Amino acid sequence: MTITRISGALRSPVTASVLAGLLVGALFLLGTGADPLTAYDAVLTGALGTDGIGATLTTGTSVLGMALALAVPLRAGLINLGGDGQLVLGGITAAATALYSPLPAPLTVVLALLAGMAAGAGYAVLAALCENRFGVPLLVSSLLLSYPAVSLASYLARYPLKEPGSSLPQTRAFPDGVALPAFGDSTVTVGLVLVVLAAAAYWFTDRWTAFGYEIRMTGLNSRFSVYAGVERAGLTLKLMSVSGALAGLVGAVGVLSFPYRFVDGSLTAPGYTWTGLTAALLAGAAPVGTLIASFFFAVLQVGGLAMERTTEVPRELTQVLQAIVIVFLAARLRFPRTLLKKKGAV
Amino acid sequence: MFLDSDLLMSALRALTPILLAALGGAICERAGVFNIGLEGMMLLGCFTAVATSWFTGSPWLGVLSAALAAAAYSLVLAVGAVTLKGDAVVLGIAMNLLAVGLTSFLLRTVFGVQGTFSDPALNGLPLIGGLSPLAYLSWVAVGVAALLLSRHVWGLRLRGVGESPDAAATLGVSPAKYQYGAVLSSGVLCGLAGAQLALGNVTLFTENMTAGRGWIAVVAVLLGRALPVGVLLAALLFGLAEAVGFRLQGVGLPQQATDAAPYVVTLGALFLSTARRRRRTPSSSGAVS
């Protein structure tokens, strides 16, 4: 039983894609004159050693959060490309709440988290409405809506909420105590617990509830699910609101951790949305797989810096590696998406 | 005067890369391959154009190599989506990501810089009447694509392959051959779009310099209903939005508002066009046809 499962996992397209990605990465490393084994060793020790594990878990918090945000709709075959917009709106809303809330600090933190989630959810619902009401494919509407959201947040951080006297595009620092508690003196905050809880809730819903079954069924065969009575528009709306809320949560967690303010670009520049999407795609949006894939990509991202120090190979190589894994995987992947079939899109 | 010739020129400059990429997307769409990897192919074209122009001193070789490199890159989509029948949407997203990583990686290994590479010794394309030769080429390409698709037997077969691959195969037309051709032409056009962006509009390479233009091109394909002239009009709309936005910045509107303008305008146009189409076909029951 276990043996068949293990050999099945080894022969799965996911394993093959990861191995192929590592192999192509090794070729790149050889091309730049570095020793692939030294480089990969540096990635692992850099990300999982005592110096790096804190950074890996901090990065992992954001990557897992965004991966969940994109996995939830993906499970039903819907792709939310507006993660960046939902993320920064969550961040800037949480920041504004943290700055102006009259409540005591601990309540302000909770309020800021909820406000961030609400902002993300509201914006994602807008994209869902675009598809349901106006027939603009979700893929396109979510992505196009993302740009104005990023611009709006940038404007707010640079003008109305800007820290007076600072030359940096950032809001004022939050009042004392308005921050997520951290573990020891690390940068890992309670935010990690929150996204892991979200992952657990997703696992439970997916595995044990009728709603989770509806989602999976829609992802496997959306035509059949409509026959079986799944209401497509409503499902899109629900899944997108959860997706947006999770992205908003990541934004809120981001600003409520060091440096306790909204810094323009700091949420989008690391590319959590795309790394998260990659992780969700790699795992086929399955809950446990998404968790593992997110950790794998967080290790790559953080370990890339260590690799750069040891081998002088630019850390961007790890980004190349991530994408190559998905390219290999996508060639074997078939997602049913009735709304985006060729005649549907045009 | 607000609507003057300067505005028109800057709109024409802004629309060229979108138009070239969107034409490629439209040809793929007609052949039944949904190509959302335009952004990545374009970005790869930008880098190749700059690198080749810098090493050879010739912007023309830059344009040529950009077209070849993006075409070679587009083979990933052709093999993955046509031969292996993989998911074109996921593949396209992955190709966009790969291009961002790859060009940033190459920027650092080849030029040893991070962020932006610009050098006075880097040759850009000459301008004819204020526009790069690629701008004129893009208009010619619209005409050629329109004629081929509507009049020539190749275009008929391509459309046949896109609408009903099985029927086309029965008539002895190889769907794979036409789909490969369509994807490769989109690669060439995206490579030209990238060259225009990096050597025509400006003369430099910046990480992720396409900044969503490939996605706008995907939208232009939807908006123009994959017709060459429709795509031209959609790209013109975007070019005007960018030019007007840029102009409004001069009268004190914050840059963030004008940055967002093209996307908002595009989304608005998409609403209007789909809403109108829906009213005409009320029985479409939620499908976007």
- The answer to whether residue A12 scores a pLDDT higher than 90 is no
Q: What percent of chain B has pLDDT over 90?
A: 66
Which one of A30, A80, A88, A140 makes the best mutation probe of the B interface by having the most chain B beta carbons within 10 Å? A140
Please state the separation of Cα B112 from the chain's center in Å: 28
Which one of A24, A66, A123, A134 makes the best mutation probe of the B interface by having the most chain B beta carbons within 10 Å? A134
pLDDT in tens, A79-112: 999 999 999 999 999 999 999 999 999 999 999 9
Q: Residue B205: what are its φ and ψ, rounded to 5°?
A: -125, 130
The reported pLDDT for the residue numbered B284 is 38
Alpha-carbon distance of B49 to A211, in angstroms, equals 51
Whether B34 sits inside 8 A of A316 (CB atoms) is: no
Please state the separation of Cα A219 from the chain's center in Å: 20
Mean pLDDT of all residues in A135-162 = 92
Mean pLDDT of all residues in B112-118 = 92
Q: What is the CA radius of gyration of chain B?
A: 19
Quote the longest CA-to-CA distance of chain A: 66
Q: Which of A136, A155, A340 is opposite residue B271, by nearest beta carbon?
A: A136
A32 inside 8 A of chain B by CB: yes
Q: Which of B215, B221, B274 is opposite residue A134, by nearest beta carbon?
A: B274
User: For residue A325, what is the nearest residue in chain B, using CA coordinates?
Assistant: B94
Question: Rounded to the nearest 10 degrees, how much is the dihedral formed by the CA atoms of A149, A249, B99, A290?
Answer: -150
Which one of A333, A337, A339, A340 makes the best mutation probe of the B interface by having the most chain B beta carbons within 10 Å? A333
The reported pLDDT for the residue numbered B262 is 86
End-to-end alpha-carbon separation of chain B, Å?
41
Whether A319 sits inside 8 A of B108 (CB atoms) is: no
Q: Name the strand (E) or helix (H) holding A3.
A: helix A2-11
Q: Name the strand (E) or helix (H) holding A160.
A: none
Cβ-based burial of A163 (10 A; exposed 0-12, middle 13-18, buried ≥19): middle
B120 CA: distance to closest CA in chain A (Å): 25
Query: In chain A, where are the structural domains located?
Result: 51-333
Q: Residue B116: what are its φ and ψ, rounded to 5°?
A: -130, 140
Bond prior to A164 in cis (omega within 30° of 0): no
Q: Which of A28, A140, A326 is opposite residue B94, by nearest beta carbon?
A: A326
A320 inside 8 A of chain B by CB: yes
Cβ-based burial of A209 (10 A; exposed 0-12, middle 13-18, buried ≥19): exposed
User: For residue A332, what is the nearest residue in chain B, using CA coordinates?
Assistant: B86
- The answer to whether residue A41 scores a pLDDT higher than 70 is yes
Higher pLDDT, B255 or A58: A58
The reported pLDDT for the residue numbered A217 is 87
Alpha-carbon distance of B18 to B141, in angstroms, equals 13
pLDDT in tens, B239-250: 998 888 888 888
Tokens at residue A307, please? 């690799």
Distances (CA, A) of B105 to A171, A316, B72: 32, 5, 19
Listed in order, strand segments (DSSP E) in A137-277 are none
Mean pLDDT of all residues in A277-291 = 93
Distances (CA, A) of A164 to A128, A161, A167, A175, B225: 38, 9, 9, 15, 49
Mean pLDDT of all residues in B46-63 = 97
Q: Which of B104, B256, B263 is opposite residue A316, by nearest beta carbon?
A: B104
Q: Residue B89: what are its φ and ψ, rounded to 5°?
A: -65, -50
The CA angle A158-B255-B113, to the nearest 5 degrees, is: 85
Listed in order, strand segments (DSSP E) in A8-108 are none
Tell me the chain B residues in contact with residue A28 when contact means C-beta distances shorter than 8 Å.
105
Query: In chain B, where are the structural domains located?
Result: 5-117+125-279
- CATH annotation of B5-117+125-279: 1.10.3470.10
Max mean pLDDT range (A117-126, A264-273, B272-281):
A117-126
Alpha-carbon distance of B151 to B145, in angstroms, equals 10
Please state the separation of Cα B132 from the chain's center in Å: 16
Mean pLDDT of all residues in A143-155 = 94
What is the architecture of the domain spanning A51-333? Orthogonal Bundle (1.10)
Tell me the chain B residues in contact with residue A337 when contact means C-beta distances shorter than 8 Å.
89
Mean pLDDT of all residues in B75-92 = 92
Tell me the chain A residues in contact with residue B79 when contact means C-beta distances shorter than 8 Å.
331
Whether B287 sits inside 8 A of A338 (CB atoms) is: yes
- The answer to whether residue A45 scores a pLDDT higher than 80 is yes
- The answer to whether residue A224 scores a pLDDT higher than 70 is yes
Mean pLDDT of all residues in A272-289 = 93
pLDDT in tens, B138-165: 999 999 999 999 999 899 899 989 988 8
Q: Which of B91, B257, B271 is opposite residue A151, by nearest beta carbon?
A: B257
- The single-letter DSSP state of residue A163 is P
Q: What secondary structure, in 3-state letters, does chain B show?
A: CCCCHHHHHHHHHHHHHHHHHHHHHHHHHHCCCCCCCHHHHHHHHHHHHHHHHHHHCCHHHHHHHHHHHHHHHHHHHHHHHHHCCCCHHHHHHHHHHHHHHHHHHHHHHHHCCCCEECCCCCCCCCCECCECHHHHHHHHHHHHHHHHHHCCHHHHHHHHHHHCHHHHHHCCCCHHHHHHHHHHHHHHHHHHHHHHHHHHHCCCEECCCCCCHHHHHHHHHHHCCCCHHHHHHHHHHHHHHHHHHHHHHHCCCCHHHHHHHHHHHHHHHHHHHHHHHHHHCHHHCCCCC
Give exposure, A65-80, as e/b (b: 16+ Cβ within 10 Å). bbbbbbbbbbbbbbbb
Mean pLDDT of all residues in B266-270 = 86
pLDDT in tens, A67-87: 999 999 999 999 999 999 999
Distances (CA, A) of A257 to A65, A94, A192, A251, A267: 15, 11, 11, 10, 12
Q: Which of B85, B100, B105 is opposite residue A314, by nearest beta carbon?
A: B105
The reported pLDDT for the residue numbered A135 is 83
The reported pLDDT for the residue numbered B269 is 87
Tokens at residue B245, please? 């936005």
Whether B79 sits inside 8 A of A331 (CB atoms) is: yes
Higher pLDDT, A222 or A9: A222
Q: What confidence tier does A2 reach under pLDDT thresholds 50, 70, 90?
A: low
pLDDT in tens, A229-275: 888 899 999 999 999 999 999 999 999 998 999 999 999 988 899 99
Whether A316 sits inside 8 A of B259 (CB atoms) is: no
**Beta strands B205-206 and B116-117, pairing class:** antiparallel
Alpha-carbon distance of A223 to B168, in angstroms, equals 26
- The answer to whether residue B94 scores a pLDDT higher than 90 is yes
The reported pLDDT for the residue numbered B288 is 38
* Lookup result for tokens 């233009």: B213
Tell me the chain A residues in contact with residue B270 when contact means C-beta distances shorter than 8 Å.
134, 136, 140-141, 144
Question: What does pLDDT average to over chain A?
Answer: 90
Instruction: Look up residue B283 and give its amino acid.
Output: S
- The answer to whether residue B268 scores a pLDDT higher than 90 is no
Whether A137 sits inside 8 A of B288 (CB atoms) is: yes
Q: What percent of chain A has pLDDT over 90?
A: 69
Q: Residue A159: what are its φ and ψ, rounded to 5°?
A: -120, -80
Whether B91 sits inside 8 A of A327 (CB atoms) is: yes
Alpha-carbon distance of A121 to A290, in angstroms, equals 21
Whether B289 sits inside 8 A of A344 (CB atoms) is: yes
Alpha-carbon distance of B12 to B4, in angstroms, equals 13
pTM of the model: 0.90
Question: What does pLDDT average to over chain B?
Answer: 90
The reported pLDDT for the residue numbered A171 is 94
Q: Which of A152, A277, A331 is opposite residue B91, by nearest beta carbon?
A: A331
- The answer to whether residue B57 scores a pLDDT higher than 50 is yes
